[in-house]
Amino acid sequence: MTEKLTDPIAIFEQAFARAKTVDRALLPDPTAMSLATVGEDGSPSLRIVLLKSVDQTGFVFYTNLDSRKGRELRGQPRAALCFYWAALDLQVRIEGGVEAVSPDEADEYFATRARGSQIGAWASRQSAPITAEGDLDARAEKYEKEFAGRDVPRPAFWSGFRVKPHRIEFWRNRENRLHDRTLYTREGEGWRVDTLYP
């Protein structure tokens, strides 16, 4: 079989490249993905995050480590992702273990962010209650002054996670709900490929 048929990361990268060419009126942000985590009590939690990089090692996104997702991922280091690109009639589901990116990798990505977003990372106590109106703006102003005239360093509490997939499923829409579903399951260094009923 060709690499295209046996390597789900390569298949994803090709689909991702196509999604980036779609008119933004039809597909506003192809990097948007649902991220599911699990709390200590086993309760699931779901939100949208943005994919920042993908390669053979996995799918990377960034967050405040003290946020709900950051705490849950450190406590239960596994996650599920889902992309739905309606304009391509394609859904991609990913499940796997989670690891922290290296400090160097996080620093490199943080340096590419807009300065306002860098200040925002310092200002937000993500997922914590705001106890007084105006606190968030006041915190942003505080860090604007603190870092005036110099580069904004990455906060120690802000970094990234890599989802290392052990299952990747491609769902392609077909008429009469006879959808194509192809599941790739990690086996050693390779992948087992199964076609699933819709």
Q: 175-190: per-residue pLDDT in tens? A: 999 999 999 999 999 9
Q: How far is it, in rounded angstroms, from Cα 109 to Cα 115?
A: 12
Active-site residue list? 177
Q: What is the mean pLDDT of residues 90-103?
A: 98
Cα–Cα separations (whole angstroms), residue 188 to 19, 116, 182, 195: 30, 43, 19, 20
**Amino acid identity of 162?**
R
Is 3-113+156-196 CATH 2.30.110.10?
yes
Question: Where along the chain do its domains lie?
Answer: 3-113+156-196
Residue 23's CB is within 10 A of a number of other CB atoms, namely: 8
Contact (CB, 8 A) for 122 and 155 = yes
Q: How far is it, in rounded angstroms, from Cα 175 to Cα 191?
A: 28
Query: Model-level pTM?
Result: 0.93
Q: Is the model's pLDDT at 72 over the cut of 60?
A: yes
